[in-house]
A and B are shown apart, each in its own frame.
Chain A
Amino acid sequence: MKTRPRFRIESGSSAWFLLRDRAALISMAFLIFVALAAVFAPLLTPYANQGRGDPDLSAKFRAPSIEHPFGADGLGRDQVARLMFGARRSLSMGLIVVLAAMAIGTPIGMVAGYLGGWIDEAIMRVTDIFLAFPPLLLAIAIAAALGASYINAVTAIAATWWPWYARLARAQTLSVRERAYIEAARSIGVRDRVIIRRHILPNIMTPIIVQGTLDVGTAILVAAGLSFIGLGTQAPFADWGVMISDGRLFFLSGRWWMSTFPGLAIFLTAMAFNFLGDGVRVAADPRLRRLL
């Protein structure tokens, strides 16, 4: 048996499949670009103050030009700067919602799947109730109850999203619970809590991460939706949903740039997360590789 160089990506491995997926690669590059633009926004634009909401009435409704490539909004704020600062909020909303939903849903689902019995039954019925609401609807009600703000919007969406992860984690737990090493750990008296954390969690992470990747795009869309109807980020700050909302009344009267660019930003970012998620999913699942 020859020894392989240590960092070679083996042909047929998951990483190899992911790197062969051109759509996933382009998506990853795009997302890295957007993330960098968001993180380094203050350094990248001369209009950082406008990005944070300061008006410049002299540039009101300025059409795209070399100075303002994406134009300026009704308060004269540079749209490129607004987009970069908006990316901070839109991306973070999507990421926080998914991470929070995962962090709430996964342990609940693991406990349900591992313990079974009435606890499982009770938890699953509770998820049934949450999933009985059309998406966004319950989030609108909760956000309205909490009051309109960025953080309340995130809380509201995460509060309606965790049942998906609870169900996924439960199903995965059921499928690994009967495996020999878990039976063995049980038989030598390892505590349930330890089994769940050490043995079950690592074995069910892959599908959860795959789902998470796919969900970030959708979460960004939902968050933008809440902001669009006024329940998300509040002025003077803006996320991409707010920017579309700000520009919409001027869209058909010739000032098309205000809504067009933030819309494209959401669209492309959500697409990128979807392609990346699909790529990760196929790469992680040998059965799908055969089918696709």
Chain B
Amino acid sequence: MAFLSFLIRRLGLSVFVFVGVLILTFIVSRVIPSNPAALYAGARPRPDQVAAIEKKLGLDKPLVEQFRVYVGDLLGGDLGESYHSRRSINTDLRIFLPATLELVIAAVVIALVLGIPIGVLAGAYPRSAFDYATRFVAVAGVSVPSFWLALIAQFIFFSQLGWLPLGSRISRDASLFYPVALQTGFFLIDAAISGNWQAWLDALHHLILPALVLSAYPVGVTIRMTQASMLEVLSETYVTAARAAGLSQRVILFKLALKNAIMPTLTVVGLSFAYSITGAFLVETIFSWPGVGKYVTEAVLNVDFPVIIAVTLVVTVVYILVNLLVDLTQAFVDPRVRLA
């Protein structure tokens, strides 16, 4: 029962935030620009183009009416069209969004798999050499500009070592000889579904470097958060009680303490996701990764405002859903939230 009311409250918050995000993006696209129509018409528009846009967007009507049309279009699933390519943004995003999500999810997984155990051990042995080294790595991770790290990573792993490809999602050979039949848009999933293992390996090979680069920031954040919350949890009486009961260090750290420490870290999963998206916006161009980041970067260069707003909206909605999921997981982990 308690869980049901928690669920309803949490869903309500998500809906509220979604409406707020709609309003805020509307303000950014229609109220802040001095001449929204010019912005929507792309770089160096002709006056007749601007006039057409003005009419199409209803910019001559009152703001409330404009907002109604704006929301109506969005809820009808129409994100508009790019003023640069004249293509439907919906069609573009269907390809670009999965590409980015595949990359971002890979980065989050790396962040959790590396960050949590390292953070646990650093928290368990404060002031050890490992702790100091870890803190340095964590600070380095959150301080390095991802787009610079991408260049350095390409230099080392492509130019010097030749271990990993320079960029793109899949090699030309693989796309010619073992084309992936697109269903979900996630190459690793689509290739696995169709049993196309050559393409699967090739896609994985291409994913490693950008995912590692993107994970630098979330790895740093995850280590810090886990370390700090472990430090706190390990000073709790129930940990002393577990030691007094003779339980092994492994059980104490990775079972009893970690379950308590993981909750702030779970929040970090949400944050990691956000930071990885941010990183993707900056490094996709460098890795020629055909995702929403590259899409937006090109839109910035072409002054393609509808694309920028549409991507902002869609990616934010994805992030809202991720946070919803994280909070529900939290309720699953903590009986106090579930049963209280």
Give me the interface of A with B, judged by CB distance under 8 Å.
125-126, 128-130, 132-138, 140-142, 144-146, 148, 217-218, 221, 224-225, 228-231, 241, 244-245, 248, 251-252, 256, 259-260, 262-263, 266-268, 270-271, 274-275, 278, 291-292
- A138 & B312 in contact (Cβ 8 Å cutoff): yes
* B201-260 CB contacts (< 8 Å) to partner A: 231-232, 235
* Nearest CB on A from B309, distance (A): 6
**Of B46-54, B192-200, B270-278, the one with at least 4 CB within 8 A of chain A:** B270-278
- B312 & A271 in contact (Cβ 8 Å cutoff): no
- B312 & A217 in contact (Cβ 8 Å cutoff): no
CB contact between A256 and one of B127, B155, B274, B323 (< 8 Å): that residue: B155
Q: List, sorted by A's number, 9 A–B pairs whose CB atoms are closer than 8 Å.
A: A128-B20, A130-B24, A132-B316, A137-B278, A138-B316, A217-B142, A229-B297, A229-B300, A271-B139
- B139 & A252 in contact (Cβ 8 Å cutoff): no
- B300 & A270 in contact (Cβ 8 Å cutoff): no
Expressed in whole angstroms, the Cα–Cα distance for A221 and B147 within the complex equals: 10
Expressed in whole angstroms, the Cα–Cα distance for A141 and B313 within the complex equals: 10
- B286 & A145 in contact (Cβ 8 Å cutoff): no
Tell me what chain B mostly uses at the interface: helix, strand, loop, or mixed. helix
- B312 & A141 in contact (Cβ 8 Å cutoff): yes
* B24-71 CB contacts (< 8 Å) to partner A: 24-25, 28-29, 32-33, 39
Give me the interface of B with A, judged by CB distance under 8 Å.
13, 16-17, 20-21, 23-25, 28-29, 32-33, 39, 126-127, 139-140, 142-149, 151-152, 154-155, 158-159, 166, 231-232, 235, 273-275, 277-278, 281-282, 285-286, 296-297, 300-301, 303, 305, 308-309, 311-312, 315-316, 319-320, 323
* Nearest CB on A from B292, distance (A): 10
- A244 & B17 in contact (Cβ 8 Å cutoff): no
Expressed in whole angstroms, the Cα–Cα distance for A252 and B166 within the complex equals: 10
Check A267/B144 contact, CB under 8 A, given A132-B20, A145-B39, A252-B155.
yes
* Nearest CB on A from B86, distance (A): 19
- Chain A residues with CB under 8 A of B29: 141, 145
- Chain A residues with CB under 8 A of B308: 140-141, 144
Expressed in whole angstroms, the Cα–Cα distance for A230 and B281 within the complex equals: 12
- Chain B residues with CB under 8 A of A130: 24
Expressed in whole angstroms, the Cα–Cα distance for A251 and B25 within the complex equals: 37
* Nearest CB on B from A138, distance (A): 7
* Nearest CB on B from A259, distance (A): 6
* Nearest CB on B from A73, distance (A): 15
Query: 5 tightest CB-CB pairs across the interface, nearest first?
Result: A263-B148, A129-B20, A270-B143, A134-B274, A271-B143
Check A225/B305 contact, CB under 8 A, given A140-B296, A144-B300.
no
- B281 & A248 in contact (Cβ 8 Å cutoff): no
- Chain B residues with CB under 8 A of A274: 139, 142-143
- Chain B residues with CB under 8 A of A142: 28, 32
